[in-house]
Amino acid sequence: MLGPEVYADISFLVNFFMDFLILWASASLAGIKIIYKRIAFASFFGGIYAVGSLFPGLGIYYSLPLKILFSFLMILLAMRLDNWNQFKKVLIYFYGINFLVAGASIATSYVFNSNPYENSFTFVYLLAGISCALAIGLFGKKYLLNKFIPNLLNFDIELRFDNNSCKGNAFLDTGNSLRDPLTNRPVIVAEYQYLKNILPEDFKSAVENVQDEKDMIDALIDTDWAKRLRIIPFSSIGRKNGMMLGVRADQVIINNGTHDIFYPNTVVGIYREKLSSEDKYHFLIPSQMLQEG
């Protein structure tokens, strides 16, 4: 049977090691510079705090509000954060990883524990938690950036013009602040190649054959879609007063994952290049549209 001093030693080492891995993984996912000395320093205090819970007289310091405050302190000790947004991001990852690690340990206990009512500690459970934290720290950022977040921000979209329509994948662009100058409503951006097949021939001819912007606009005014034509002002790096050609769609339908959202008379900006170098999406949806839906 383990004595109380040995148990305190084990409790300190386990919590120090787990706090270190969780703080390291949180910094990695949040894109914060990892300073191992600071993480070790914060984890040391985490281990001491965990040992304190073994003493009944210190129970007042382990209420839920104080535990949350202590986690804030650990994060501030472990990382050099520049602003409140960075702190919030790290805090979300910190608690998310904590829950995942705890879940992995509990799940392992059910698999390997022959007696479901026995809650004894074994290093198999610890190994499961360590493996989970390591996997998140090593591969989590790559998965989040390349798989989870892109899939989360991708939506099916359909644009309708008279009796014609085009469909494709759209990406939620939080930086898209384009607005129709006539209605002040947000504008969708679409690749020209995806709209090309539904555009009238005279409209396509003007877009493809006239190089000068002013001459192009003059030519487009005489096309069948003159009433749909919009000129959208924008600013970008290296171009403060840019103008984007746009057309008004009769209806835009966006599937948000649970149901279709319908937007009548929505302006679509025409982008001549590819929006995604990997061809993953062909439209950009402003975040305001989904918020309104």
Q: Name the average pLDDT for the chain.
A: 83
Alpha carbon distance 52, 140 (integer Å): 32
Is the pLDDT score of 119 beyond 60?
Answer: no
**Pair of tokens at residue 236:** 């970008």
Pairing of strands 164-173, 283-286: parallel
Specify the long-range contacts of residues 105-113, CB closer than 8 Å, at least 24 apart.
Answer: 105/129, 105/132
Pairing of strands 164-173, 239-255: unpaired
Report which of residues 5 and 151 the model is more confident about: 151
pLDDT given for residue 53 in this prediction: 86
Would you say 234 and 173 are in contact if contact means Cβ atoms under 8 Å apart? Answer: no
The set of residues, in sequence order, having a beta carbon less than 8 Å from that of 205 and lying 6+ positions away, is 219
Is the pLDDT score of 165 beyond 70?
Answer: yes
> SS3 of 229, please?
strand
Q: Where are the domains of the chain?
A: 4-152, 154-292
CA 291 to chain centre: 16
CA 183 to chain centre: 30
pLDDT given for residue 190 in this prediction: 93
Report which of residues 68 and 8 the model is more confident about: 68
Q: Where are the beta strands (DSSP E) in the chain?
A: 154-161, 164-173, 188-191, 229-236, 239-255, 260-271, 283-286
Alpha carbon distance 57, 65 (integer Å): 18
Is the pLDDT score of 92 beyond 70?
Answer: yes
**Pair of tokens at residue 114:** 């022959």
Domain 154-292 -> CATH class: mainly beta
- Give percent of the chain with pLDDT exceeding 70: 85
**Pair of tokens at residue 270:** 């025409």
Would you say 78 and 41 are in contact if contact means Cβ atoms under 8 Å apart? Answer: yes
What is the arithmetic mean of pLDDT over 11-15?
88
pLDDT given for residue 235 in this prediction: 67
Is the pLDDT score of 120 beyond 80?
Answer: no
Query: b or e along 154-164 (b: 16 or more beta carbons within 10 Å of the residue's beta carbon)?
Result: bbebbbbbeee
Among 129-133, 139-143, 226-230, 268-272, the range scoring the smallest mean pLDDT is 139-143
- Give the pLDDT band of residue 151 (cuts 50, 70, 90): low
Alpha carbon distance 7, 61 (integer Å): 20
Among 16-20, 36-40, 50-54, 122-126, the range scoring the smallest mean pLDDT is 122-126
**Pair of tokens at residue 186:** 């947000």
pLDDT given for residue 242 in this prediction: 74
Among 16-25, 117-126, 169-178, 205-214, the range scoring the smallest mean pLDDT is 117-126
Is the pLDDT score of 77 beyond 50?
Answer: yes
**Pair of tokens at residue 172:** 């939620």
